[in-house]
Amino acid sequence: MRDLSEIRADIDNIDNQLIELFKRRMDCAKEVGYYKKANNIPVLNEKRENEILDEVEKRGGEYGAHARLLYSNIMELSRALQHNIVCSGESLRNEILNADNIIEKTGIKVAYQGIKGANSHEATLKLFPDGNAVPYKSFEDVFEAVDKGEVKFGVLPVENSTAGSVSTVYDLILKHRFYIVGALDLPIDYCLGGLKQSDFSDIEIVWSHPQALSQCASYIARNDFKSTPCANTAIAARDVAEEKRLNVAAICPYKAAEEYGLKILDNHLQDNKDNTTRFIVISKKLYITKDANKISLCFSLPHVTGSLYSLLCRFNSLGLNLTKIESRPRKGKEFEYLFYLDFSGNVHSANVIELISQLGEEMPEFSFLGNYSESCI
């Protein structure tokens, strides 16, 4: 067995050769980029890339899979270099960089799902304190209202820190491809609201939205309550007040209990005391405020091995922090998915706008959903 220092010396020598070869390869890739620009040739040539990767894997012997992964990353870097040379995604780049940076918040109509007292209503008031909050029955109705111009913006929940993603909203985002122009992390605190005549010992059934029931699952199980889902937490509170059943209570926000005259029978029901829900603001027009710190994209990927990994490597190579990735099945296409992705950044960073422009050229069904400020309360 060789001495470790001798082995490491060999590795250092090989690495020195590799880096020089890598530099030569990138110089060649740069030349190819200028040729493609001069001759109006697309940067991505999937057929050639796959032929090279297949050959590399074959020649790699027992390290074939590792060799394929290495060369796949090298090709991603080469392609990114060529995209910069040919100025890929120029129309998308111009749209983003020319977006308005001031959002009018006074006297405008803003849609939310539910009724007065719901968490969505509170989030809307926090985001647009001088706006006019307009209730709608469903998430789809909020999107339709924005689409038809009945309101300028819509406020929707997308994720809870305990119960996870609101999948219906993500499906609607991917369907409509509206812009996201703002976001808010709202602390969520639930109470048990019953009739004035009810006592805690009377309660057998709780009503609430499925997300709230999920966020309070341990509490419900611990008290052996039966649960019934409702369209909204505030609707649950209203219905408890109207139905007048002594054995039924609502799991609802404190403001909803107050709004519909319920007696608070128990406090802070959520299983996670740091429970928060993330709300987004949707718009048909793109706004990017100066303090924007989060970017959202959606796209599909080629149905080939390693396509998602290759994409993520590009973010990693630029030091960009992904904060969420969500996959949703494509309707009518078995085992094919659309992806929703969030990452921290601002489009006025050269690396960020270049990456977005490149992805817009390469990714099927790509949409830039927005660069916006996400605030916490």
Q: Which residues pair with 340 in a beta bridge?
A: 298, 326
* Sequence letter at residue 225: F
Total number of residues shown for the chain: 377
Q: Cα angle at 138 between 371 and 295, to 5 degrees?
A: 10
How far is it, in rounded angstroms, from Cα 126 to Cα 280?
12
- At residue 299, φ and ψ (nearest 5 deg) are -170, 170
d(CA 199, CA 110): 38
- Kindly tell me the burial class for residue 204, based on how many C-beta atoms sit within 10 Å of its own C-beta (0-12, 13-18, 19 or more): middle
Catalytic-role residue among 153, 277, 299, 339: 277
Measured from the Cβ of residue 299, the count of other Cβ atoms closer than 10 Å reads 19
Selecting among 279, 299, 339, 368, the annotated active-site residue is: 279
The residues that bridge with 112 in the sheet, in sequence order, are 135, 155
- Taking the C-alpha atoms of residue 37 and residue 159, their distance in angstroms, rounded to an integer, is 43
Phi-psi region at 318: left, alpha or beta (left = phi > 0; alpha = psi -120 to 50)? alpha
Q: What are the CA-CA distances from residue 66 to residues 18, 305, 355 (Å)?
A: 16, 13, 25
Determine contact, residues 279/120, Cβ cutoff 8 Å. yes
- As to burial, measured by CB atoms within 10 angstroms (0-12 exposed, 13-18 middle, 19+ buried), residue 20 is exposed
228 an active-site residue? no
The two three-digit tokens of residue 147, written as one number: 């689409």
* Amino acid (one-letter) located at 259: E
Does the active-site annotation cover 339? no
Q: Which residues are catalytic?
A: 277, 279
